[in-house]
Structure 1
Amino acid sequence: MLRVSRRRALAARLVAQGLDARGPDVAALAVLDVGLADSPYGAARVAAAARTTGPVDDVGRHDGPLPTAWTVRGAPHVHRAVDLPTVGRAVHPVSDDDVRARLVSPQAAGARELGLEAWRLVTAAVRAVAAAHGGVVAKGDLSREVSDRVPASLTHRCDPCDAQHVSALTFQPAGLQAGLVLDTTARALVLRSLPGWPDDLGVPDPAAVGALLRRLVDLHGPVAPGDLAALVGTSARVVHGLLPADLVPVEVDGRAALATPWFVALLEDPGVEERAAGSVRLLPPGDPWLQSRDRALTVPDPGRRKQVWRPLGSPGVVLAAGEAVGTWRAKAGPRRSAGRRDDVVVTPWAPWADAEAGAVAEEALVVARARGADDVRLVVES
């Protein structure tokens, strides 16, 4: 079995996720193979800007090459438009057991009972409601009208709304199954139908799910099966039956994990730590780096982990040579005649070297511009 240190494992992951050197083409980013999380809204643009010198203004636009859809775990992710049919097959459950593993909320008890049939019924209702609205429907209207169309067993009581609602755990994943992408240009979230979306995606498709798992292992390796299952939102038992046959066992500081042959080659590359050494990035909440479930590996200190991953309102992370060295938050400033200036407030966990501090200042401007500002004021908190 290949045995590697934590430092080497994180260096290889950093290179795999494109954080060692920026490329010119946003669409070529490897992380788009599995999607860039866009929660909070705008995070995907900042995550893309951490990996490319290309413009990121169109990242997430419904009418561009990189739209946003509800995909992995039913959460909003930016994908290449050309990949969306494949993504739709890859995020669909493969069995009744898979459905039950994904629907952990008491609000989805009825859907757990029906299994895959619940997915089919909700998807059909989403498609019908979108068609009735001419392919453009507000999220609130979609949720309410889908709830009216599906069996009552698939809804739950919402006391604040005084209504029965379909569970978000089935409603949101059904969006892409029905060919909808998110339009965030209006004040309220709107969903729009994709032209030419197939009536039948050919789901369940275990091969498509297996291909998604392979790319997740490429980007988050070395990864334990349970952590891989958490990335998808299902159980380790379900994932075990879908794993690619050529995955290689790897031990990271005594912890058993798996890697693809491609990732093993990165681990064995004698220059991989050097490639990671000069990288300083400001990563947004939800960045692929922060999506990895082995949080004790990425941020060993328990107190720091609580600062990074909060139940609500998590900050961004300052990453230097594969190590989290602080957190950051951004605040939009007022519009001026010369444009908008954002504040980026960073909180170092220890004093930074001059080179790191200079790189953080440069990255703060990258963040501000990705957020639509023209300039930045960097604030360093003790």
Structure 2
Amino acid sequence: MMQGVLSGGKVIVAGSEAESLVKGHGRKRGRLELEEAAGLLETDKIEIKDEEGKEMSPDEFLKRALAISPEFGLRYIVYNDLKERGYVVQPGGVDFWLYPRGVKPGEKPARYFIRILSESDTISLKELVELLILARNMRKAPIIAVVDEESDITYYEVKDAKFEKREARKEELKIKVKASLFGDRVVLWDADLADTLYRTYFYGNLTKEKRLLLSFLEAAFLMRKGMLEMEVAPQLSTLNSQPFERFIEYASAIETDFRAKYAVYADLMEKGQMVKTGFKFGSHFRVYKAMQLKHSLYLVHVLSEEHVFPLPELSRAVRLAHGVRKRMIFAFAVAEGIRYVDVGRMKL
């Protein structure tokens, strides 16, 4: 059996025994990280002594490891779980490198790096973006491992959202239709034009009287495209003299986050996506593939770049999207435009 000594926050295995370390352990020859040493100790593959030469039981070693590193508890829970699933795990990267099953480090590069969090932690959008930048630089994929209060682990993948290209848009309307405010939405009265916008372009909700009810977002986008003209109602007459900005100001007074939502809505529409409200799913938008409305692929929620997630909030959004077979995407404005981050549950 291997013999090791706990020293300086590592377990040192000296002499020829250093060569006999089980594959996947001891990235630096003869030096085991605390998680690696604990795993070997609890499976009776190593004996560990302290610097005074006293042999330590597994419980004694775990207590010493926690005193050395307060993060050891969470790290060891995740390390153990991944090892039990048959993966080769090495400390490094952000928290751990994760190799494919059966691969010896050095034979192939790690496929993922693991970021470990507790249920009580938070993570910001900026931190998610930093993980993506790091992953791209290291040519790895990031995984977030969240340990809940019952010590169960949920794994999340994080990636930049990729939208499939849709078929070419049908030719835009050549005429400008007139519409009116209708409370907190917009109504188009012309029955023929209403039917065309609804059935051909998938805008709004068509009533049985052939009136088209548009959301403020849809109306603003059609105005920007030159396809819709708003009648000047008393509510609008005292606002900006430019029709589009006047309408944006009015909508923003009713929906405080309207400008942020419109920026994302317009960006998705310009990218060729079909965008409808995601209210029933607790998100701002549901996004469909191409010119069909059979099943939406994504839920998109608009946030500020400074947003910080309590992890139960992130878990709730991702779980709901997963349950209805959609991807959960968080959208936010950056200097270059709109950025989309896709977070999903991962089965390891």
What TM-score, normalized by structure 2, do the two folds share? 0.24
In proportion to residue count, which structure has more helix?
A: 1
Larger Rg: 2
In proportion to residue count, which structure has more strand?
A: 2
Identify which of structures 1 and 2 has the higher relative contact order when contacts are C-alpha pairs closer than 8 Å and 6+ apart.
1
